[in-house]
Amino acid sequence: MVCDPIPGLQTVALSVVAGRGARAEDEIHSGWSHLLEHMVFKGAGGRSARQIVEVIEAQGGNINAATGYERTSFQVRALADGLDLGCAVLADLVQRPAMDAGDLAREKQVVGQEIAEAADAPDDLVFELAQTAAFEGQPLGRPILGTPASIGATTPETLSAWRASLYGPQTLVVSAAGAVDEDDLLWLAERDFGQAAGAPPTPQAPAAFTGGQRPVAKTLEQANLVLLLPAVGVKDEAYFALRLLAEILGGGMASRLFQEAREVRGLAYAIDAYSETYADTGVLGVFAGCAAKDAAELVRVVAGEIAGMLTPVGEAELARAKAQLKGAMFMGRESALARAEQAAGQVLLFGRALDPADMAAQVDAVSPADLVKLAERILAPKKAAVAVLGPKAALKAAPAFEAALF
């Protein structure tokens, strides 16, 4: 349990987070965690789907959920006096869903439409293609939504068994921020989750970055590109160095990629770099949108800027990146829900909530030499995952990136 009171706030955010998600799935169970997250809202604890929403909204709140690779979270935001009800409702969703066969049949159709929608959205599909290439044949390389075939195989009984393993008490964290008292939250957590039961979680296999190319021709006006390189996980000592490297490379309008690829050369209408981290691994990524004729030249520019990180950055550039990163970290904490979610994730990973001041100090401690060392680690395997989606003229960008970088 994590409690983060925010003086003066008249609202509360409550998150019940399970430390399991799509990464717990094998190919047969692909998409089951996401489907389960949908299904618990169809009825739980004696309330219908409509009643679950109405009872929360009647107290000025809202309810939501999200499934990721390593976590599934259920969230309620409410006025200060809505914590009691919110905790009870979330406990019902996690522990006592109805799992009606008719609801499941309908929800399979809804998720099937969600899968089709993602396939029709270029900026969704290109990321999925890159993720598949980066972690081929592994849970991290499969879409969180699953496939029509894998979700079609579920029954109320098999999905209930999946819930017992996914939302077992060993994986759950109850976290609240805002107008909340620690004693009150502890009492509610004991009341609603003290008797939680479920199977112990199975160990997750380590992830391995495989790399590969996924060029897909599609009739589009522009080319969409995602370039991924193997990086470090959230527990690695170089985690903040990775965040800063991504910031310098393509984190904003002053970044190297934005300035060189867009402002100087005019090759891209959108370009940015980012890091995506998991418990034991991560990726450094670049997304770009450009004219098909410019795709090959653009990825060569990107390769050059990535290689440029092997040279120590200047103090002014590093100071700017640190200010941006710390600004993002602290601005994110202005949301009570973000604070509750962040704290829950930290407890699952580290066994405790981390002090924001300590994290800021770790950002400040990163040196130019640390960034060079990390860039060397990222480039040493000579592996990349490259997804290109768009007109045929853009597809040559996939081999061009690897040839330029390696």
Mean pLDDT, all residues of the chain: 96
User: Mind listing the pLDDT tens digit for each residue in 258-285?
Assistant: 999 999 999 999 999 999 999 999 999 9
Residues designated as active site: 37
CA-CA distances (angstroms) from residue 142 to 101, 166, 317, 370?
Answer: 26, 18, 37, 32
Is the same domain home to 165 and 135?
Answer: yes
Using alpha carbons, select from 229, 230, 216, 231 the residue that is nearest to residue 295: 216
Q: Of 161, 193, 225, which residue is a domain's last?
A: 193
Residue 16, domain member (yes or no): yes
Residues spanned by the domain of 258:
212-405
Of residues 286, 341, 279, 239, the one with CA closest to residue 23: 279
Same domain membership, residue 187 and residue 299: no
Residue 121 within a domain: yes
Summarised one tens digit per residue, pLDDT across range 94-142 is: 999 999 999 999 999 999 999 999 999 999 999 999 999 999 999 999 9
Q: Are residues 33 and 146 in the same domain?
A: yes
Does the pLDDT at position 203 exceed 90?
no
- List, in order, residues 6 or more apart from 116 with CB less than 8 Å away: none
Q: Tell me the C-alpha distance between 308 and 376, whole Å.
A: 11
What would the two tokens of residue 117 be? 């929608």
Residues 107 and 57 in one domain: yes
Which CA distances in Å does 109 have to 113, 114, 120? 6, 9, 17
Same domain, 218 and 364: yes
Q: How many domains does the chain have?
A: 2
218 falls in which pLDDT band (50, 70, 90)? Answer: very high
Query: What band does 202 get if pLDDT is binned at 50, 70 and 90?
Result: confident
- Cα gap 259→266, rounded to integer Å: 9
CA angle at 65 for the pair 62 and 71, rounded to the nearest 5°: 145
Q: How confident is the model over 306-326, as pLDDT tens digits?
A: 999 999 999 999 999 999 999
Q: Is the pLDDT of residue 250 over 90?
A: yes
> 173 and 104: one domain?
yes
- The pLDDT assigned to 199 comes to 74
What is the pTM (predicted TM-score) of this model?
A: 0.95
Least confident span in 168-172, 199-203, 387-391: 199-203
Integer Cα distance of 179 and 4 in angstroms: 9
- How far apart (Å, rounded) are the C-alpha atoms in residues 38 and 162? 13
Position 196 scores a pLDDT of 84
Task: Note the pLDDT of residue 239.
Answer: 98
Does 207 fall in a domain? Answer: no
Tell me, what CATH number does 335's domain have? Answer: 3.30.830.10
